[in-house]
Amino acid sequence: MHPRNRHTGHYDFKELTKISPELAPFVAPSPRGESTIDFANPEAVKALNSSLLKLFYGITEWDVPTGYLCPPIPGRSDYLHEIADLLSSYNDDVIPQGNSVRVLDIGVGASCIYPIIGHGEYGWSFVGTDVDPIALDSAKKIVQKNEKLNGAIELRLQKSPTDILNGLIAKNEVFDVSICNPPFHASLAEAQAGSRRKWNNLGKGAPRSGVAPKLNFGGQDSELWCAGGEVAFVRRMIEQSVEHAKNVFCFSTLISKEVNLPAVFTELHKVGAEATTLEMTQGQKKSRVVAWTFLNDKEQQEWRKKRW
Ligand code: SAH
């Protein structure tokens, strides 16, 4: 985990249940005698998330509709800390902070998770986009119900499912960085197979009905897959980033599968972007972010002088 990640080590269930008593019924001792929850139970994961967001970021009202992705907060935090470091590497090792720093979150999801953490950690303001109106409504409710998010997070519907940046960014609008956790499975069947694998890893065995359960962190089908999978999605994002090369200081996306990196880098070289990979490790899990820019040194300097 990133050294600034505040969610390392064990969850402090004593503190968490004190601030969120509704978590208490889900907490039970593990075989090793430590407090834990059943991570295969979406209601338990949801209650844990609510309590973490309350304790660390002062978010008192948080919910996602049934069946929607309930994201693990430690991993999501890591991406934002990596992005903070990336921006600081362009800024004499000082992280640009405050609400004048604008972040575009592509596929914000029902949980509004990146804007909540990014605003909480660094005071950044966000524009979150999504193609799913239900997810966007849920994110809007979270922002409306939590006063500290008012004015810091704007949500925009991407009306065209084949577009990512097009139709979203106004002509002279600027963002210091764009982030994205893309839908990564190539098909519904692949998403369900992934779901079954996770389920088995949690020791639940194959579902008897033969119907895959929802992923243990929840997840609406449209959240999890896109025709052509992650590479197709990211390729489209790269193509559309060329058209917005001067609107965004730095574009970035998570890449869930390492085998997809060469294809992504081929595309980035083709369009002449300067690109880098940021590696992250959460326990056994490795993940990576690819970031790219089209600005040359002089343009970067000017941007920095003007905005940070
Ligand atoms: N950011 C959240 C949700 C990620 S799931 C999290 O990390 O938990 C991916 C999200 O991308 C879903 O909400 C899905 O509806 C959205 N999405 C899919 N295609 C999109 C597109 N073309 N533009 C914007 N969002 C899209």
> Is 107 touching ligand 1 by the criterion CB < 6 Å?
yes
Residue 132 alpha carbon to ligand 1 centre in Å = 8
Burial of 94 (C-beta count, 10 Å sphere; 0-12/13-18/19+): exposed
Which pLDDT value is given to residue 221?
A: 58
Tokens of 227: 């025709």
> Is 120 touching ligand 1 by the criterion CB < 6 Å?
no
**Is residue 206 scored above 60 in pLDDT?**
no
Is residue 249 within 8 Å of residue 295, measured between CB atoms? yes
Note the pLDDT tens digit of each residue in 213-269: 344 445 565 566 666 689 999 999 999 999 999 999 999 999 988 999 999 999 999
30: amino acid identity, one letter: S
Which pTM value belongs to this model? 0.90
Which pLDDT value is given to residue 278?
A: 97
Note the pLDDT tens digit of each residue in 46-84: 999 999 999 999 999 999 998 888 898 999 999 999 999
Rg of the chain's alpha carbons, rounded to an integer?
A: 19
Residue nearest to atom 14 of ligand 1 (CA): 223
Which pLDDT value is given to residue 222?
A: 56
Which residues are within 8 A (CB) of 166 and not within 5 positions of it... i.e. 6 or more apart?
160, 240, 243
> Is 293 touching ligand 1 by the criterion CB < 6 Å?
no
Which pLDDT value is given to residue 204?
A: 44
> Is 78 touching ligand 1 by the criterion CB < 6 Å?
no
Q: What is the separation of C-alpha 295 from the centre of its chain, rounded to a whole number of angstroms?
A: 25
Note the pLDDT tens digit of each residue in 137-160: 999 999 999 999 999 999 999 999
> Is 111 touching ligand 1 by the criterion CB < 6 Å?
yes
> Is 115 touching ligand 1 by the criterion CB < 6 Å?
no
Which pLDDT value is given to residue 156?
A: 98
Is residue 118 within 8 Å of residue 80, measured between CB atoms? yes
**1 DSSP β-pair partners:** none
Residue 109 alpha carbon to ligand 1 centre in Å = 5
Angle between helices 229-243 and 261-270 (to 10 degrees): 20
Q: Across all residues in the chain, what is the average pLDDT?
A: 89
Please identify, by atom number, the ligand 1 atom nearest to the C-alpha of residue 68: 13
Q: Alpha-carbon distance 300 to 90, whole Å?
A: 8
Fold of the CATH domain 65-307? Rossmann fold (3.40.50)
Please report, for the chain, the start and end positions of each structural domain, with discontinuous segments joined by +: 65-307
Note the pLDDT tens digit of each residue in 103-112: 999 999 999 9
